[in-house]
Amino acid sequence: MPSPIHTDLLAVAPQVILTLAAGLLLLIEAFLPGLRRALSELGMLAVAGAAWARLALPTPGLVWSGTLRVDELAAFVDLYILAALFLTLWMAGPFLRRNDSERGEFYVLALFAAVGAMVMASAVNLLTVFLGLELLSIPLYVLNAFFRRSVISLEAGLKYFVVGAFASAFVLYGMALLYGATASTDLAVIVAVIAAGAALDPLVAIGLAMVVAGLAFKLAVVPAHAWAPDVYQGSPTPVTAFLSVVPKGAALIVLLRLAEGMDLARLSAGWVVAIAGMAVASQTLGNLIALVQRDVKRMLAYSGIAHMGYALVAVLVGGPDGASAVLVYLVAYTFMNMGAFAALALLSERDDRPHLIRDLEGQGYHRQLAALTLTTCLFSLAGMPPFVGFTAKFAVFRAAVNHGFVWLAVVGVANSLLSAAYYLRVIYALYMKPLPERAPELQPSLPIAATATVAALGVLALGLYPTALLDAAAAVITSITR
Amino acid sequence: MTAELVPIPFTWVLALSAVLFAIGTLGVMLRRNAIAIFLSLEVMLNSANLAFAAFAYRFGAVHVAAAAALDGQIFIFFVIAVAAAEATVGLALFIALYRLRETIDVDRFNILRW
């Protein structure tokens, strides 16, 4: 029984608002040059409108002939994507002006990418998963290469394009095989067929493996991680911030929807070994290579690889506490990463130069606010209390221990200790080294500083009152499994 | 008189799509010219389309699964549109790179490395 059209439309109101706003911004860019300076603010207004719509409107469940499932989980992920988009747009305006590249397409593409991620968050059909994935990826290829006079930005765009399109082709071929094995593109049907014992059917096994491999590229987990450092370093910093949280979140939610129905951990030993292997390899390799990085953005790329390793542990252990740990991790990771990259944008002169740790020396007393926010986010990324990074890791490892994956928790804790070394190296440079003679004079920028401060306050507030976040995530998972 | 037309077996179509996918994958990994890599990516996407078509063809022949055939056929149209969007962005990127460096050999883009 298809739902009525007004239910369908209201269910995707946030996506509709963002799409219309993106069209409007394009028109303003083309025909109203006087308003160009306000595009970033108009975009933020649209995001606020979309967030309001998501909070105020009901979540009806299955809509659009059963291809989208707008449930509590989708609403939660939508809000997290909108928060990341809001912070990205906030810092993007002054950032682009400082690098002489302000063009309205930036905001338009960012809005479209967010719509794609939100489609993925509620997609329960192979078709909507694929379309969401592409709507997320294609604008990001352009955003990576946004500084089109800069070779490293174009190189980042080229690499992300080739790797991203390659991953999409894998996902698509895997979907074709799953469709062939189950005669359906509906995730619920596919999951039911697999759970009923088709897991060892070669068509299903290969198809599922290809879909998971394609999503692993988006998550940048080992062995599909090699693109991340180059793309992180080459992309404009606000794009890096967006790229480091939104596609990963969307891909994790698709994995979660797949894993939740199948009870991955009990499906077959092969899957457990494969995913646990990916998680452990990502954590260990990410942290080890991050230790020797000299560029902060590359270091954060490897740190991101390690963090997705922790998140995969939560996906693997499954169950209500595993699933809610994934959500907690996503929110925590978003605030930490957005804050770190915004602070980095504040501390670096021009974006097309490397962001060396050496260049941050002595900035702790020179640019106090930026250094303080960066320090907060790095401590949180290292998983130290009282910041939200600790809450997230605690939730993940608690779920792992409760489900009998004690060894994964032990590996994770050991890796967290290891990771503290490279985060502390940056903090050491900030506060323990003298300011060099010829320190670059940076133009202060209120919006970027505000972005960094809001993100850092989020890190601190959610870290001090973790129950709010933990309860919200648990409530979301309870409501969808009920 | 012409011989009666024998329909092509579904497995042949599926095998062709798998071979095309493998060719595309190898092309992306081995070729160094950006346009050649891009062509290989398109081959990969279209091999998946062919797999969808093959499965839809089989489901269409079975009465109980005839509705499922439609799902696969619709998928193909969306993939064609997505591939066109990807082509636009990819080619625009290559042109921007060519303007800057006068080459689209991917081995020449290696400023970023660890």
Residue A386: domain span: 263-482
Nearest to A136 by CA among A114, A158, A154, A121: A114
CB contact under 8 A, B111 and A155: yes
What number is the average pLDDT over the span A449-453? 90
Residue A109 within a domain: no
Q: What's the CA gap between A73 and A93, in Å, rounded?
A: 31
**Closest residue by Cα to residue A375 from A436, A296, A319, A434:** A296
Residue A405, classed as helix, strand or coil, is coil
* Interchain CB contacts (distance < 8 Å): A and B: 125
For chain B, the structural domain boundaries read 32-104
- pLDDT > 90: percent of chain B: 49
Percentage of chain A surpassing pLDDT 70? Answer: 95
Q: Which of A70, A239, A79 is nearest to A160 (CA)?
A: A239
Per residue in A141-192, pLDDT (tens digit) is 999 999 888 888 888 899 899 999 999 999 999 999 999 988 888 888 888 8
Query: 192-231 in A: which are within 8 Å (CB) of B?
Result: 229-230
Cβ neighbours around A52 below 10 Å, total: 14
Tell me: the pLDDT tens digits for A212-253? 999 999 999 988 888 899 899 989 999 999 999 999 999 999
Find out whether A73 and A477 touch, Cβ atoms under 8 Å: yes
> So what's the ipTM on this one?
0.92
Indicate whether A384 pLDDT > 90.
Answer: no
Q: What per-residue confidence (pLDDT) applies to A477?
A: 86
pLDDT of residue B64: 74
Nearest C-alpha of chain B: how many angstroms from A158?
7
A161/B90 Cβ within 8 A: yes
Is B89 close to A161, i.e. CB distance below 8 A? yes
Q: Give the pLDDT score at B114.
A: 40
Tokens of A22: 């993106």
What type of residue is A142? V
pLDDT tens-place string over residues A48-88: 999 999 999 888 888 888 889 898 899 999 999 999 999 99
Which of the residues B86, B91, B100 would you substitute to probe the A interface, choosing the one with the greatest number of A C-beta atoms within 10 Å? B86
Q: How far apart, in whole angstroms, are the C-alpha atoms of residue A169 and residue A163?
A: 10
d(Cα A452, Cα A335) in Å, to the nearest integer?
9
Residues A417-427 pLDDT 10s: 999 999 999 98
- Using an 8 Å CB-CB cutoff, list chain A residues near B85: 134, 138
Q: Compute the radius of gyration of chain B from its Cα atoms.
A: 19
Per-residue burial over A189-212, b = 16 or more CB atoms within 10 Å of its CB, e = otherwise: ebbebbeeeebebebbbbbbbbbb
Residue predicted with more confidence, A235 or A358: A235
| SS3 (DSSP) at A66 | coil
Residue B103's alpha-carbon distances to A33, A234, B33, B100, in angstroms, are 35, 19, 9, 8
Residue of A nearest to B93 (CA): A158
Alpha helices per DSSP H over A235-382: 237-262, 264-267, 269-290, 296-317, 319-347, 363-366, 368-381
Sorting pLDDT into bands at 50, 70 and 90, what band is A352? Answer: low
Find the helix or strand (DSSP H, E) in which A61 lies: strand A61-63
Total structural domains within chain A: 1
* Residue A441: pLDDT over 90: no
pLDDT interval class at A401 (50, 70, 90): very high
A134 and B86: CB-CB below 8 Å?
yes
- The winner for highest mean pLDDT among A59-63, A116-120, A440-444 is A116-120
Calculate the average pLDDT of chain B.
86
Indicate whether A75 belongs to any domain. Answer: no
Please tell me the predicted confidence (pLDDT) of residue A9.
Answer: 84
Q: Return the pLDDT at B111.
A: 57
Tell me what the mean pLDDT of segment B10-18 comes to. Answer: 91
Report yes or no: A85 and A26 within 8 Å, Cβ to Cβ. Answer: no
Average pLDDT over residues A27-54: 90
A474 assigned to some structural domain: yes
Residue range A271-287: mean pLDDT, rounded? 90
Which residue in chain A has the smallest CA separation from B81? Answer: A131
Contact A455, A303 (CB under 8 A): no
Instruction: Reply yes or no on whether the pLDDT at B104 is more than 50.
Output: yes
Tell which of B75, B100, B113 to mutate to test the A interface (max A CBs under 10 Å): B75
pLDDT at B3: 63
Across A444-453, b (16+ Cβ under 10 Å) vs e yields: ebebbbebbb
A229 contacts B112? CB cut-off 8 A: yes
Look at chain A and count its residues: 482
Mean pLDDT computed over every residue of chain A: 88
- Give a yes or no: residue A185 inside a domain: no
User: Which pLDDT value is given to residue A478?
Assistant: 85
Asked if A162 lies within 8 A of B14 by C-beta distance, the reply is no
Q: For residue A216, give the 3-state DSSP assignment.
A: helix
| Bridge partners (DSSP) listed for residue A125 | A186
Measured CA to CA in angstroms, residue B53 lies from B11, B13, B67 at distances of 12, 9, 14
> What local confidence, expressed as pLDDT, does residue B5 receive?
73
β-strand partners of B33: B105
A403 in helix, strand or coil?
coil
Within a domain: A408 = yes
Per the CB < 8 A criterion, the answer to whether A36 and A76 are in contact is no
Residue A155 lies in a domain: no
In this prediction, residue A8 carries a pLDDT of 85
SS3 A69: strand
Per-residue pLDDT for A438 more than 70?
no
Residue numbers in B near A179 (CB within 8 A): 52, 55, 71-72, 75
pLDDT interval class at A1 (50, 70, 90) = low
DSSP per residue over B75-114, as a string? HHHHHHHHHHHHHHHHHHHHHHHHHHHS--BGGG--S---
Residue of A nearest to B35 (CA): A162
CB A306, CB A279: distance < 8 Å: no
Residue B113 has pLDDT above 60, yes or no: no
Averaged pLDDT, A296-311: 93
Record the tokens describing residue B35, joined without a space. 């346009």
- Please tell me the predicted confidence (pLDDT) of residue A148: 84
Spatial separation of the C-alpha atoms in residues A146 and A321, rounded to whole Å: 40
Q: Give the helix/strand (H/E) hosting A63.
A: strand A61-63
- pLDDT confidence bin for A264, thresholds 50/70/90: low
Whole-angstrom Cα distance, residue B47 to residue A479?
40
pLDDT band at A261 (very low <50, low <70, confident <90, very high): low
Residue A334 lies in a domain: yes
- How many helices and strands in chain B, by DSSP H and E? 3, 0
Residue A338 in any domain: the answer is yes
Contact B71 A229 (CB under 8 A): no
